[in-house]
């Protein structure tokens, strides 16, 4: 009996040692830079803005201030028909409205809807009356919405798959002449896998009442934010690449989401995940199948429009309008890098300016706002971006719990 106990003890000791060694190497490769994503900020960004040594750096001619604070973890922003700013706070299961004071800061938040299942995407459709659309993790619903800033008479119009790695559901109405069509982004349930639910890792499309739900684009691991190009009306979307392939692959992406016009392929465009990433690079770490054709090639798979450094976690995407902006900013895009968690040296935690021409051609990029990343912690993590005519930008931050206001001096 004593001999058996000794054998069991030695076996457990070896197993624990192997497990500890595996975790050490896994941590060193994938989690060594997780600190900024999870460690509370060392300082309160609201107390550092516009002080000596203010950490956030912007281009010459721009200033930043706090528009609203103490919001928990604000994510998506949208203007209501009456000029108020609606903000989803998924972690608290609610949507709030912020009015504007005369000094340009926010009034105290008013709860529009609460008790929701991770509400994220927001959209309005106004015909005879105004309907507010809220995308929760498991559904899209419409509400009656009026000047008292309350969403009432909830009507579920679309069922969505709940749970999994990615819970954020984002919605957006198509531009004219398809303004009655609703887009719904649903991320994958996993890091990399073959999905069992046909609604996952896609952008779906439905009528405004939820009818005729179908695939608009597929092969999109987690396209949390979408935007309409101001010239041609095409849909652009950020997308997050898979994890656990090291610091520098695969790239995150900006994709132009459009219909497949190929005479040989009428299916919705496939943007590659889980077997392709970036400029149609094959993920042979996951996909071991032998194909008759190259597994990543047009017109069957669509490459990214722009590659973004791996693990930057791109979220908000917004185009700069002509009105009130310098000409060299026209048609440019600002993208929020939420920031890495599984890179040995953290990256992201900033706003990047993508220089584009009127047709969306990539001309270069440069940092627009930096300074959130502070060594082993982060003062904040930018999420959504709203750019207004006249040189004003609003940026939500789900770590600092604030919304910033950027203005041109």
The domain limits of the chain are: 34-408
When the pLDDT of each residue in the chain is averaged and rounded to a whole number, the result is 91
Residue 101 in 3-state DSSP?
A: coil
Per-residue pLDDT band at 112 (split at 50, 70, 90): very high
pLDDT at 334: 98
- Angstrom distance (rounded) from CA 153 to CA 197: 30
pLDDT at 23: 47
The CATH number that domain 34-408 falls under is 2.120.10.30
Per-residue pLDDT band at 24 (split at 50, 70, 90): very low
- Angstrom distance (rounded) from CA 44 to CA 379: 7
**pLDDT above 70 coverage of the chain, percent:** 90
- Does residue 14 or residue 164 have the better pLDDT? 164
What is the value of pTM for the model shown?
0.92
Q: How far is CA 202 from CA 97, 118, 246, 285, 286, in A?
A: 29, 19, 25, 22, 19
- Range of weakest confidence among 22-36, 78-92, 133-147, 355-369: 22-36
pLDDT digits (tens, 9 = 90+) for 324-347: 899 999 999 999 999 999 899 999
- Taking only Cα atoms into account, the Rg of the chain, rounded to an integer number of angstroms, comes to 23
pLDDT at 348: 97
Q: Provide the CA 294 distance to its chain's centre, in angstroms.
A: 30
Give the pairing type, strands 235-239 and 252-257: antiparallel
């Amino acid at each position: 009996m004593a001999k058996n106990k000794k054998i069991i003890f030695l076996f457990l000791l070896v197993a624990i040692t192997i497990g500890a060694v595996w975790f050490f190497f896994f941590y060193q490769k994938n989690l060594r830079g997780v600190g900024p994503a999870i460690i509370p900020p060392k300082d309160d960004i609201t107390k550092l803005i516009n002080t000596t040594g203010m950490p956030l750096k912007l281009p010459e001619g721009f200033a930043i201030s706090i528009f609203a604070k103490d919001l928990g973890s604000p994510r998506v922003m949208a203007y209501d028909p009456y000029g108020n700013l609606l903000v989803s706070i998924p972690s608290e299961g609610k949507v709030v409205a912020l009015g504007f004071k005369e000094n340009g800061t926010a009034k105290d938040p008013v709860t529009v809807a609460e008790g929701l299942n991770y509400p994220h995407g927001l959209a309005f459709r106004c015909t005879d009356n105004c309907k507010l659309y809220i995308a929760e993790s498991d559904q899209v619903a419409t509400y009656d919405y009026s000047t008292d800033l309350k969403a009432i008479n909830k009507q579920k119009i679309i069922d969505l798959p709940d749970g999994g790695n990615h819970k954020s559901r984002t919605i957006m109405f198509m531009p004219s002449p398809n303004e009655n069509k609703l887009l719904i982004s649903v991320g994958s349930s996993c890091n990399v896998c073959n999905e069992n639910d046909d609604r996952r890792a896609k952008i779906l499309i439905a009528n405004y009442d939820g009818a005729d739900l179908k695939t608009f684009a597929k092969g999109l691991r987690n396209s949390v934010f979408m935007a309409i190009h101001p010239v041609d009306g095409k849909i652009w979307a950020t997308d997050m690449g898979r994890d656990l392939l090291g610091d520098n692959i695969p790239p995150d992406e900006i994709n132009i989401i459009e219909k497949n016009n190929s005479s040989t392929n009428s299916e919705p465009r496939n943007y590659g995940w889980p077997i392709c990433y970036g400029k149609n690079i094959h993920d042979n770490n996951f996909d071991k199948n032998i194909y008759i054709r190259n597994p990543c090639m047009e017109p069957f798979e669509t490459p990214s429009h722009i590659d973004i450094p791996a693990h930057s976690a791109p979220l908000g995407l917004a185009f700069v309008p002509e009105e009130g902006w310098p000409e060299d900013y026209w048609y440019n895009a600002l993208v929020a890098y939420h920031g890495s968690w599984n890179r040995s040296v953290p990256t992201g935690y900033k706003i990047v300016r993508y220089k584009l021409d009127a047709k969306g051609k990539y001309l270069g990029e440069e940092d627009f706002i930096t300074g959130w990343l502070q060594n082993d912690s982060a003062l904040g993590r930018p999420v959504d971006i709203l750019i207004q005519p006249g040189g004003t930008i609003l940026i939500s931050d789900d770590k600092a719990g604030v919304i910033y206001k950027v203005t041109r001096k």
